[in-house]
Structure formats: structure tokens, C-alpha cells
């Protein structure tokens, strides 16, 4: 949703920043690794309960995540491995950030929110895995309204406006796992039916 509605509006500005970074010798991989490091830092901050500061660090990390693609295109270094590397490290970033939430609620002995956070963490991984596996099996998986940008957006919103945090956590839980289920159902519908010979006895 974010990629289709918001990203095209800010893409020209991101390209301008990417050109400046390219002239300074910054590489896409450096930005990707910097985003990973900042996500780890954000997770540590979330674990201490400093949610506002965690959101600020996370937003900076996301800026790097949005710029590595344009930087690769500007520098003509876009590659299959680069896309794979970026996507893989995004999963680590998700673990660091939402793992920080899990650790915070565990330390506070808040069982309900601990379970909700674990559900969000699981949903974020299953959502991404379901898409990757679907694309490997049937070539495409264009469904899913709750992707990484939406996950980060709602977490940042709840962190900056604390009274909204409980609502945002429930939205994250339902949104991540709902998207995973949406993709499972899509693959189920789009998968070719097995031929009768596959069920025949040897």
C-alpha cells in the first residue's frame, strides 16, 4: 500500500539524495548495513522502554532502507544479489525491532502484550516467507495490504503517540497475520490442481 500510494510521491526527492550519496562514494550495501545497525539500536532502545526515541532511530534506519534501491539504480549497480541481500537483512531488522518489544513486555511482566508482540513478530516473518515461497512456486503473489512499510508505520505511530500504542499493536497483530493468511489463500486458489496420475498407485 505504501509503495503504491506514498513512495511514488517521494521518489524524485529520494533520487536526488541518492545522487549526492553516490558522488560521495556511498554504496547501497553500506546503506543496507547501516540500516541494519540502526534497527538493532532501535530494538535495544525499545527494550528499555524509550519508545519515542526508538521511533526516531527507527525512522532514520528506514530512510537508509528507502535509499539503497535508488542509490543502486543511480550508480548502475542494481543486481539480483543486492535485492536478495536487502530483503534478507530486512528480516533481521524486523527481528531486532519487534524483538525489542517482546523483551520490554517480558521484563514488565505484561503477559498479554508479550503474546501480542510475539504474534506480530511471527506474522512479520510468515508474511514475508509466504510471498517469497509463493513467487518461487507460482511466479507471483500480488496480494497483501500489510507489508513492511505498514508494519513500521504503525509501530512508529504508536511509539510517538503513546495512547495509540495498544490500538497499533492490535492492528499490527491482525494486519501481519491477516496478510499471511491472505497470501496462503491466494496460493491455494492459484495453484494448479494435481493431475489424477499423481494419486494413482504405483
Q: How many residues does the chain have?
A: 202
Distance from C-alpha of 22 to C-alpha of 154, rounded to nearest angstrom: 31
- Reference 179, options 117, 109, 128; nearest CA is 128
Active-site annotation holder among 65, 68, 90, 94: 90
Separation in Å, CA 14 to CA 10, 17, 66, 68, 95 = 6, 5, 8, 10, 26
Separation in Å, CA 15 to CA 24, 27, 35, 76 = 14, 14, 18, 13
Q: Say whether 68 is catalytic.
A: no
Give just the sign of the alpha carbon dihedral 86, 89, 91, 93.
Answer: negative
Distance from C-alpha of 120 to C-alpha of 132, rounded to nearest angstrom: 19
Contact between 48 and 104 (Cβ < 8 Å): yes
Contact between 93 and 41 (Cβ < 8 Å): no
Catalytic residues, by residue number, are: 90
Amino acid at each position: 500500500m505504501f509503495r503504491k500510494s506514498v513512495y511514488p510521491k517521494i521518489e524524485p526527492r529520494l533520487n536526488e539524495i541518492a545522487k549526492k550519496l553516490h558522488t560521495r562514494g556511498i554504496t547501497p550495501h553500506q546503506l543496507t548495513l547501516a540500516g541494519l545497525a540502526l534497527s538493532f539500536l532501535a530494538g535495544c532502545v525499545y527494550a528499555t522502554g524509550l519508545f519515542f526515541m526508538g521511533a526516531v532511530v527507527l525512522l532514520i534506519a528506514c530512510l537508509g532502507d528507502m535509499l539503497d534501491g535508488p542509490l543502486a539504480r543511480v550508480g548502475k549497480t542494481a543486481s539480483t544479489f543486492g535485492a536478495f541481500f536487502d530483503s534478507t537483512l530486512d528480516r533481521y531488522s524486523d527481528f531486532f525491532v519487534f524483538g525489542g518489544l517482546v523483551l520490554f513486555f517480558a521484563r514488565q511482566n505484561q503477559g498479554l502484550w508479550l503474546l501480542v508482540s510475539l504474534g506480530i513478530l511471527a506474522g512479520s516473518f510468515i508474511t514475508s516467507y509466504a510471498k517469497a515461497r509463493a513467487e518461487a512456486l507460482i511466479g507471483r503473489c500480488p496480494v497483501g495490504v500489510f507489508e513492511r512499510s505498514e508494519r513500521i508505520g504503525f509501530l512508529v505511530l504508536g511509539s510517538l503517540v503513546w495512547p495509540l500504542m495498544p490500538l497499533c499493536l492490535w492492528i499490527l497483530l491482525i494486519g501481519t497475520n491477516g496478510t499471511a493468511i491472505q497470501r496462503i489463500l491466494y496460493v491455494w486458489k492459484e495453484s494448479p490442481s494435481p493431475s489424477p496420475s499423481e494419486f494413482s498407485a504405483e
